[in-house]
Amino acid sequence: MTAYVEERRDAFGVEPICRAIGVPVSTHYARRSRKPSRRELADHELLVEIEAARSGRRRVYGARKTWKELKRLKGAIVRVAAHAAAR
């Protein structure tokens, strides 16, 4: 939601967009200025590791092979987290 508003704020303004999608303006500004959560930071770290695991393989690995490669390189990794972060 925040990205949508930010992409169109110059053309339409924040208040009209928020009114059209039914979100209070204060919610938009609060979401924009908050610090990333621990999960967002962990997902970012996992994405970096996924990109590193896939980079040497001409980026043709699917979810299963990427997960196996991460497991081989890093040890135990939660499969659900890897799939969720890869999406």
pLDDT tens digits, residue range 34-66? 898 898 898 888 888 888 777 766 667 777 887
The type of residue at 55 is S
Lowest mean pLDDT among 10-14, 20-24, 29-33, 75-79: 75-79
Contact 28, 2 (CB under 8 A): yes
Distances (CA, A) of 78 to 5, 7, 39, 51, 68: 33, 34, 14, 16, 11
pLDDT tens digits, residue range 20-32? 989 899 988 898 8
pLDDT of 13 strictly over 80: yes
